[in-house]
A = this chain, B = another copy of it.
Amino acid sequence: MDPRIREHAKTIATHSTSIEAGDTVVVQLPPAAEDLAVALHEICGDRGAQPVFLSYSQRADRAYKRAADSFEEPAHRRALYEETDVFVIARGGANVTEGADVAPETNAAYNRAMEAVKRERLSKRWCLTQYPTPGHAQLAGMSTEAYEDFVWDAVSIDWEAQGAFQAQLVERLDDAEEVRIRSGDETDLTMSIAGNTAENDTGEANLPGGEVFTAPVRESVSGVVHFDLPLYRYGREIDGVRLRFEDGRVVSHAADRNEELLTGILETDEGARYLGELGIGMNRAIDRFTYNMLFDEKMGDTVHMAVGSAYPETVGETNAVNESAEHVDMIVDMSEDSVIEVDGEVVQRDGTFVFEDGFEAA
């Protein structure tokens, strides 16, 4: 096996999730990622942790969702999750469009049924990462070998140094009241983050990490945003998303491609019409778009926002946590004609932070 797979497993188990003796671990990987499963099982054995190996098959998921009339929370999955300390999940399907023929309302109904067990998982230590497969390489327009290099390089950077770099932004957001994001002609969005917490993501719950993220105050979001980078969701590309917010709520939406899928997402539940996350990418080691949110949203000149559920750890005690069965990240390219303002002060212009070389004050 490629030695970088054992390195990847070690980063997951040590840096991201701190697997130790007595931990019950769920490893959920696609069939192609058996090597990574082997490496993670080795570590579990070595440390006295106990693994259960779930398969992450988008083909099986598609088959189940298409065949079912309705969905309920599965009692056995809940029981498993309740007794699990650590979840390690890797994406890496053979075909990233495997879910392309599942109806949006089916995905919405499925997610509603699974919302509580998902919340259970998110309350534990967890790590979402990527296994490099030909399907994902193809999505990125890369050879499989170059994509392997890309993934394994991205997960193995110096996370301590990355954290120190990001702390500079965390500091500016910590006691801030208002964030305004402007980009081109079509994005001008204002939101309050007063009382909420900015988290410094250095490759724990997401590997790679490399963002600073928080939650907008639910009803405070106002303005328009054009997400000019595409996203893949449920096996389809959604492109050119435009949202208008009033009092925090999406009051109109459009997309250049697969708009009905976007509509389905927004109609999942009331919380899906509110922003649950504002994230600012800061990982300069990710130097190209690969049409994979796990990587793209970490890039240094992007901002992403998610409609749907907020991470409870980002929401202050006096603010409401937005709850939803959905959490869909979308990206704004901030590399040109763009600024991020915090309490009226520019903290990023055209992708360069105020604390980086090359920042232009005006």
Residues of chain A at the chain B interface (Cβ within 8 Å): 24, 26-27, 29, 31-32, 34, 37-46, 48, 50-55, 57, 59-61, 63-70, 72, 74-80, 82-84
Contacts and interface: CB of A to CB of B under 8 A. Distances in A.
Contacts of A37: 55, 57, 59-60
Contact of A74 (B50, B64, B79): B50
B29 A55 contact: yes
B76 A80 contact: yes
Given A34-B57, A38-B59, A45 B74 contact: no
B68 A45 contact: yes
A31 B35 CA distance: 11
A54 B53 CA distance: 6
17 contacts: A27-B60, A31-B31, A34-B57, A37-B60, A38-B60, A39-B63, A42-B67, A46-B67, A50-B76, A50-B77, A52-B77, A52-B80, A53-B54, A55-B55, A77-B80, A79-B80, A80-B83
Contact of A46 (B38, B42, B68): B68
A38 to B, nearest CB: 5
Contacts of A61: 41
Number of copies: 2
Contacts of A68: 44-46, 48
A103 to B, nearest CB: 13
Contact of A75 (B26, B34, B38, B83): B83
A39 B45 CA distance: 33
Contacts of A79: 79-80, 82-83
Given A42-B64, A45-B66, 13 more contacts: A31-B34, A41-B60, A41-B64, A42-B63, A44-B67, A45-B65, A46-B67, A46-B68, A53-B54, A76-B83, A79-B79, A79-B83, A80-B83
B74 A52 contact: yes
Contact of A76 (B32, B44, B52, B64): B52
A46 to B, nearest CB: 4
A55 to B, nearest CB: 4
A116 B51 CA distance: 17
B24 A45 contact: no
Contacts of A27: 60
Contacts of A51: 60, 64, 74
Given A31-B34, A63-B38, A68-B45, A24 B55 contact: no
A67 B9 CA distance: 14
B34 A50 contact: no
For the complex of A and B, list the 9 residue pairs with the smallest distance between their C-beta atoms, beginning with the closest. A45-B67, A45-B68, A50-B74, A76-B83, A79-B79, A80-B80, A41-B64, A31-B31, A55-B55
Contacts of A38: 57, 59-60, 63
A45 B31 contact: no
A50 B67 contact: no
Contacts of A76: 24, 26, 50, 52, 80, 83-84
Contacts of A46: 67-68
